[in-house]
């Protein structure tokens, strides 16, 4: 097993869409699904651009599937190469995550009996985020020598606008032309009016092929025509450059200038006494054949960028190849899902790999994914948090419209911060039309954002960020919670009623423990942040006090809420009730559902599942994990023993199997920890939930990193530095990783003692 590679050795059409997701390439500016260059019936080609949305009828807007830059058709003796035609003699596809390259080799026999070998590779440049490149080689079998005939070859590269988000097309053509032998396509989204320019060059290794440029408003193309002798190989290189109006006012000029620059940088060299014919707009020209090193030059820079990434980001696991491969794949996914510099957008639940959740951003980013960036790539984490800062005006507007103060973050967001959660959806498992209440009453995301701000600050020591951005986020969310909490006269405490907690299978609940505790924590830390700000930046403190009307009376109210917030917890045993009345729900006999292939909600129905003590994902246990220092081991153990058995680990949610690892390791449950770790790590590699066709489970990828570092390595930060407390699954001999603390790189290399 090569622990840097994900490989399939046969083609199974029944897994077409999940494998498209699995073999996605990307660089944070764009992600391109692993569809075949030559196409396949009912494929779902998609290139999603970071932060490029268009309007939809349900759910506000979605990432708009851009014109496909991959198409490269091959015709051999008039027969089209495609995997649903002819016969596949040999096949391999491999994603090399160390180099960020997708490769495929196919030995194919045409319906007419001609045999060829096709080898192609492609990448989305990590060194130059605007560039995608394909190298495509065709070899005629030596066996064709028996016929003594050359093969007639057509290689046809294009850009294709006829792709959409399923059946919805978001782009229309503005213009299509050429600049020398570069063709370009200028399109625009139908509603958001984002402009996209894609430029394409297409070159070949042989001067014996004729070249033709073909104009088209929907599929501009460059074609090569020629012959291939038995045993001969020809190689083409397709390079595409993409710029949008989010990059600058004139994306056409930007794209063309950039494309010419990278061609000139590859040092093209005319080949003496070799020429080719060019057909363009009805005119045939004879031109000197030019040899270019464009693909190799771009590939070299791209690979070097990935090597730098892995030098910092890699987690080394010795003794378990499957876990090692899975961890690296998940770390690869985290990188290709987010920009290294753009703070106008964040990481969607499915990254840039599929249409699931429409590119919307949830608390998945702050709770599951952002810790990886905070510890390993703090500059990216900073941008992801500035995204939330940018959304403050809309969050304040949402709170105000609901009758509250401060900032209430939307459950789903895109670019402007307005609530993007649809009002209703069709249940993906049972087809039931269900109302979606999350946008109205799943509130804990506001505390998730505050928690991420706090964690980033404590890990990085970035006081400037806290001065300029973080403090305002913290104080604004605290203001919301203090106004949302209702005083209960009979109990003389504060309650937060009519909510959905992280569990999500129980709606309209009162005093969800996670929500109440995180709200209290948010307010308490906001008071601390304000005091720190008064001492470190009094002018900024005065500015925010005035802006947010933080009178002494209001701050006294905050302190009262902190003291008297209702937390449904048995003080003697430490057992926390998930919400008021949860302990009175009916127990569910899970044994009667053995062999199930769907969640308990899918089996029982949305309303029926609410009657039972069965939960979708970690709720109380997530609270104990996130606010680790707030609870002792006995409290963690009693709640683990109660809640772990009643959680739907298999089909409830992909978010928390890996997150359970942290608590399991702390409680010495290593076998359970490893099982849950691999459940999370393999969720997409093995399509464990049967829904990878919708896109990668990016939050799960972040949880896998946390499981390895906070779980098995036991990393904890202290005032003086850090500590580790490794828990070793069977076979593991070494666990090594890097992180930053207060701006300094820390390298950890844990090795298992003999007999441990």
Q: How far apart are CA 522 and CA 474, in angstroms?
A: 7
- Residues 6 or more apart whose Cβ sits within 8 Å of residue 502: 444, 514, 617, 618, 619, 622
Complete edge-to-edge strand list for the sheet that includes strand 151-158: 79-80, 72-76, 151-158, 221-228, 210-214, 269-280, 283-291
Are 106 and 93 contacting, i.e. CB atoms less than 8 angstroms apart?
Answer: no
Q: Is 62 a catalytic residue?
A: no
Q: How far apart are CA 346 and CA 438, in angstroms?
A: 20
Nearest to 174 by CA among 158, 157, 193, 192: 193
Residues 42, 353, 431, CA angle at the centre, nearest 5°? 60
Q: How far apart are CA 315 and CA 468, in angstroms?
A: 33
Q: How far apart are CA 190 and CA 408, in angstroms?
A: 30
The helix (run of H) or strand (run of E) holding residue 278 is strand 269-280
Are 354 and 31 contacting, i.e. CB atoms less than 8 angstroms apart?
Answer: no
Which value, to the nearest 10 degrees, does the dihedral of the CA atoms of residues 693, 695, 696, 697 take? -100
β-bridge mates for residue 616, sequence order? none
Return phi, psi of residue 576, to 5°: -100, 130
Q: How far apart are CA 217 and CA 250, in angstroms?
A: 20
Burial of 10-49, coded b for 16+ CB within 10 Å and e otherwise, reads ebeeeebbbbbbbbbbbbbbbbbbbbbbbbbeebbbbbbb
Are 124 and 25 contacting, i.e. CB atoms less than 8 angstroms apart?
Answer: yes
Are 624 and 597 contacting, i.e. CB atoms less than 8 angstroms apart?
Answer: no
Nearest to 730 by CA among 681, 645, 686, 672: 672
Structure tokens at 502: 């992280």
The residue from 397, 504, 524, 650 that is catalytic is: 504
Q: How far apart are CA 236 and CA 224, in angstroms?
A: 9
- Residues 6 or more apart whose Cβ sits within 8 Å of residue 544: 471, 472, 475, 530, 533, 550
Are 360 and 414 contacting, i.e. CB atoms less than 8 angstroms apart?
Answer: yes
Q: How far apart are CA 191 and CA 323, in angstroms?
A: 44
Catalytic residue numbers?
Answer: 504
């Amino acid at each position: 097993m090569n622990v840097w590679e994900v490989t399939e050795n046969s083609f199974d059409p029944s897994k077409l869409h999940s494998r498209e997701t699995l073999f996605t390439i990307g660089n944070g500016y764009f992600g391109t699904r692993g569809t075949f260059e030559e196409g396949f019936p009912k494929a779902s080609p998609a290139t999603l651009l970071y932060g490029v949305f268009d309007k939809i009828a349900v759910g506000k807007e979605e990432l708009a599937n851009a014109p496909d830059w991959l198409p490269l058709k091959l015709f051999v003796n008039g027969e089209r190469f495609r995997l649903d035609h002819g016969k596949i003699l040999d096949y391999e596809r491999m994603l090399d995550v160390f180099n960020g390259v997708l490769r495929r080799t196919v030995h194919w026999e045409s319906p007419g009996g001609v045999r060829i070998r096709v080898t192609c590779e492609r990448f989305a440049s990590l060194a130059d985020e605007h560039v995608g490149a394909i190298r495509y080689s065709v070899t005629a079998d030596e066996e064709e020598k028996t016929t003594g005939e050359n093969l007639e070859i057509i290689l046809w590269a294009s850009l294709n606008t006829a792709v959409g988000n399923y059946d919805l097309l978001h782009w229309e053509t503005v213009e299509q032309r050429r600049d020398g032998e570069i063709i370009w396509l200028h399109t625009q989204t139908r509603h958001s009016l984002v402009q996209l320019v894609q430029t394409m060059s297409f070159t070949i290794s042989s001067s014996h092929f004729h070249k033709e440029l073909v104009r088209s408003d929907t599929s501009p193309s460059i074609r090569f025509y020629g012959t291939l002798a038995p045993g001969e190989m020809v190689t083409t290189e397709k390079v595409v450059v993409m710029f949008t109006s989010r990059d600058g006012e004139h994306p056409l000029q930007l794209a063309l200038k950039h494309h010419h620059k990278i061609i000139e940088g590859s040092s093209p060299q005319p080949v003496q006494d070799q020429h080719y014919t060019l057909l363009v707009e009805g005119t045939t020209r004879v031109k000197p054949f030019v040899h270019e090193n464009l693909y190799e030059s771009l590939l070299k820079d791209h690979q070097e960028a990935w090597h730098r990434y892995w030098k910092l980001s890699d987690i080394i696991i010795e003794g378990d190849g499957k876990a090692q491969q899975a961890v690296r794949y998940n770390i690869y996914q985290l990188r290709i899902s987010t920009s290294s510099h753009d703070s106008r957008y964040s990481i969607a639940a499915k990254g840039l790999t599929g249409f699931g959740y429409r590119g919307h951003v949830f608390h998945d980013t702050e709770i599951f994914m952002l810790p990886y960036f905070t510890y390993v790539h703090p500059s990216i984490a900073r941008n992801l948090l500035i995204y939330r800062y940018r959304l403050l005006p809309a969050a304040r507007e949402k709170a105000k419209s609901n009758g509250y103060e401060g900032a209430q973050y939307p459950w789903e967001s895109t670019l402007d911060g307005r609530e993007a959660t649809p009002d209703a959806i069709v249940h993906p498992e049972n087809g039931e039309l269900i109302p979606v209440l999350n946008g109205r009453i799943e509130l804990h995301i506001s505390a998730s954002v505050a928690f991420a701000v706090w964690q980033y600050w404590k890990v990085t020591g970035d006081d400037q960020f806290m001065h300029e951005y973080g403090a305002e986020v913290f104080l604004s969310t605290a203001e919301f919670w203090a106004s949302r909490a209702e005083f209960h006269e009979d109990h003389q405490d504060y309650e937060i009623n009519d909510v959905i907690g992280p569990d999500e299978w129980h709606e309209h609940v009162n005093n969800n423990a996670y929500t109440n505790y995180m709200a209290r924590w948010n307010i308490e830390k906001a008071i601390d942040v304000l005091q720190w700000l008064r001492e470190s930046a009094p002018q900024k403190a005065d500015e925010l006090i005035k802006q947010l009307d933080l009178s002494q009376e209001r701050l006294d109210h905050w302190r009262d809420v902190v003291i008297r917030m209702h937390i449904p917890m048995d003080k003697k045993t430490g057992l926390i009730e998930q919400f008021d009345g949860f302990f009175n729900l009916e127990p569910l006999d899970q044994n009667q559902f053995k062999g199930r292939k769907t969640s308990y909600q899918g089996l029982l129905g949305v309303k029926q599942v609410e009657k039972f003590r069965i939960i979708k994902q970690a709720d109380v246990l997530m609270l104990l994990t996130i606010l680790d220092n707030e609870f002792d081991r006995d409290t963690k153990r009693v709640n683990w023993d109660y809640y772990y058995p009643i959680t739907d680990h298999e089909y409830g949610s992909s978010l928390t199997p890996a997150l359970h690892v942290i608590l399991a390791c702390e409680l010495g449950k290593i076998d359970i920890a490893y099982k849950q770790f691999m459940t999370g790590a393999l969720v997409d590699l093995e399509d464990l939930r049967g829904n990878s066709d919708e896109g990668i489970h990016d939050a799960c990828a972040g949880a896998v990193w946390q499981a390895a570092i906070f779980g098995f390595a036991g990393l904890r930060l202290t005032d003086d530095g850090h500590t580790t407390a490794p828990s070793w699954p069977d076979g593991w001999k070494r666990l090594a990783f890097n992180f930053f603390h207060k701006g300094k790189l820390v390298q950890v290399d844990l090795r298992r003692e003999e007999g441990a």
